[in-house]
Amino acid sequence: MELNSRQLSSLNEMGIPVWEFRTNEAQQQSTTIVEEAITSEQNEQLLNSEWVVVIDGQNYDEQAQGLLHAMLLAINVDQQNLAIIDSAQLVQLQHSPSPCKVMIILGEVLASSSLGESIIRGSTHKTLDQKVATVVSFSLSELLTKPENKALAWQDLQLAKRTYLQS
């Protein structure tokens, strides 16, 4: 509900604070960076990124984008060192001399189907010819429908960050 200036003035005189929707410029900018990471310069960015996040591109809506942004922000991933790809682009990573140190795959089913092996969440795996440390976590759609899994996803993110710092 939008209040006019008269209403705002009356509430102010009565000492009643008015809540306003925040426009968090940093969040908007980071969301834009995440969107750009998945679209424009994927090939070049993929070849220069230390972090790679593999997502299910079919279920990557605005809500999932916001969640992914918050997850990456929580572990201080430098957006300039990040490539967000879907499983089809994983082949590029397999056949390129990428500096990728850590790959996070969001979804156990996606991990198994993409890499052709049984990979479970909660531990670090060496994939792509033993070159890349890989951490599997819940898919974005799973986290949005089952918020109780967010604590386990946080543990997975912390594992990925520790792995990155040790490499």
Q: Residues 65-89: pLDDT tens digits?
A: 999 999 999 999 988 889 898 888 8
The single-letter code of the amino acid at 93 is L
∠ CA 37-23-75, nearest 5°, is: 45
Residue 117: which CATH number? 3.40.470.10
Rounded CA-CA distance 88/49 in Å is 17
Q: Does residue 102 form part of some domain? A: yes
Q: Is residue 27 part of a domain?
A: yes
Tell me, yes or no, whether 7 lies in a domain.
no
Residue 39: pLDDT over 50? no
Rg over alpha carbons for the chain, rounded to the nearest Å, is 19
Number of compact structural domains in the chain:
1
Grade residue 33 by pLDDT with cuts at 50, 70 and 90: low
In a domain, residue 6? The reply is: no
CB 104 within 8 A of CB 132: no
52 inside domain: yes
Q: Report yes or no on 5 lying in a domain.
A: no
User: Does residue 36 form part of some domain?
Assistant: yes
d(CA 40, CA 43): 9
Higher pLDDT residue, 26 or 114?
114
Percent of the chain past pLDDT 70, that is, above it, reads 84
In a domain, 4, yes or no: no
CB 52, CB 72: distance < 8 Å: no
Domain housing 16? 12-166
